[in-house]
Structure 1
Amino acid sequence: MSRNYAGLSRERIIVEALHIIAGRGLGGLSMRRLGDALEVEAMAIYHHFPLGKEQLFNAIAAYVTSPAAAGSSDTEPSEEEQEERSGAEETDTRPWDERLTDWAETYRNRLLEFSGALSLLVHRAPHTPADDAARALLHRAFTEAGLSEEGVGIAADALYSYCLGSAIHQVRHEGDEDAPGPQEARERFHAGLRALLRGLAAN
């Protein structure tokens, strides 16, 4: 097996781990199997994840819940990049509910894309730059909707829970004879989302 670890990065490890999870389930992921897939010795993975599988699981959970993760999991955005993203979000003049709808759909799609890792999110709440940006977006939108500071926190938690629950429900029933197709599932998600946002704004 090659000892040339050039090009081995945290993101490459995470992406390959997600491929294994997609094919074998979470229980099928081991450091040895991951090393074989990456064509490196398993110990090479510990260079990036010295605390082992739990640290890798935390990184996978952070990657799955970060819509802007692709291509950037090894480095956090610079201060200039964070300011540019924040400025773009603050100048978004669309109604608050449209902004939240876009965010919710993007977040749900990310969860469905990596559905094999959904069980990791039950016990892990990753704190990442992407999560900070999402929380800021939700805070601004719900504040514009007229919610109090306490209400904003409650609404944000409800929206996160709805997106995660919707993804879990869809994955759980995939293959059922009466399960809705992707388009109908998306329409149902949006119908529930509209009802949720109306209810939150009314309180």
Structure 2
Amino acid sequence: MRSRNNAGLNRERIIVEALHIIEGRGLGGLSMRRLGDALEVEAMAVYHHFPKGKEQLFNAIAAYVTTARVVNGLSEDEGPEDEELPAAGTSEEDVERIEELPWEQRITLWAEGYRARLLTYSGALSLLMHRAPRTLAERRTAALLDGALLDAGLTGGDVAATRDALLGYCLGSVGHQVRHAGREDAPSEDEALSRFRFGLRALLRGATS
């Protein structure tokens, strides 16, 4: 039975449950009614948090999935800059800590964290191909990558182009891994991570040579 007591229902809980549905049924299997059933609340309780409906929910899911922790163990306690986006991201303190590392290590830590999050929510990959929500975490990530690339000696438009290449590489690499999952010749996770690191090093060498 659905509960009319919506205490404890928040945007992040809704997003996480929506991702569970997407993982099991695909994007087409997600509806506000089904989401309400899974949360044991009326569908209108979901609309209370996402009054613009599925499009607003999809944008929030994309923001949630693409918010990568830069370093394992760093805090994700971050207030949302936009009320339409979930609370998550890399704090200013986290950025200051990672900026103390060599530039290539900064980028590698970010890339591996981003890859891990994309793999965790791989059912939403197709959604990410059409949505790029603007968040505070996104701008902090851009600043972190740009700072590392400037330290690597890049200048001008090469910084933005390389940042775009890094983001595209992570998304494409995960998409390739997910697409081939289950095949007899699919690499193990250890091998897939090794290949990811090899490609990342090659990209960085090419960009900074």
Whether these two folds match at TM > 0.5 is yes
Alpha-carbon contact 2:35-2:43 (below 8 Å) kept: yes
**In the TM superposition, what whole-angstrom CA distance separates every residue of 1:39-72 from its partner, at most 9, and x where no partner exists?**
001111111101100100000000000024x965
The structure where helix makes up a greater share of residues is 1
Find the counterpart in structure 1 of residue 96 from structure 2: 87
Task: Verify the 8 A CA contact 1:143 1:149 in the aligned structure 2.
Answer: no
Counterpart code for 2:94: R
Match of 1:36? 37
> What is the rounded CA distance, in whole Å, between the counterparts of 1:33 and 1:72 in structure 2?
29
The structure whose RCO (Cα within 8 Å, separation 6+) is larger is 1
Unpaired segments of 5 or more residues in structure 2? Answer: 70-74, 82-89
Looking at structure 2, the residues matched to 98 and 73 of structure 1 have their Cα atoms a distance apart, in angstroms, of: 24
**Which one of 173, 179, 187 corresponds to residue 166 of structure 1?**
173
1:133 aligns with: 140
Unaligned runs of 5+ in 1: none
Distance of 1:95 and 1:42 partners within structure 2:
49
Corresponding residue number in structure 1 for 2:84: none
8 Å CA contact retained: 1:11, 1:71: no
Equivalent in 189, 193, 198 of residue 196 of structure 2: 189
Other structure's SS at 2:161 match: helix
Tell me if structure 1 keeps the 8 A contact 2:122–2:178: yes
- Is residue 2:13 matched to residue 1:6? no
The 4+ residue runs of structure 1 with deviation greater than 4 A are 70-74
**Distance in 1 separating the partners of 2:77 and 2:125:** 21
Instruction: Assess if the C-alpha contact under 8 Å between 1:62 and 1:126 holds in 2.
Output: yes
The two structures, once aligned, show a CA RMSD in angstroms of 2.2
Matches of 2:112 and 2:150 in 1, distance apart?
A: 20
Q: For residues 83 and 71 of structure 1, do their structure 2 counterparts lie closer, same or farther at Cα, with a shift above 3 Å needed?
A: closer
Give the match for residue 160 of structure 2: 153
Aligned residues: 198
| Matching residue's letter, 1:173 | H
Question: Matched residue of 2:153: which SS?
Answer: coil
* Distance across 2 between alignment mates of 1:190 and 1:134: 19
1:144 lines up with 2:151 in the alignment = yes
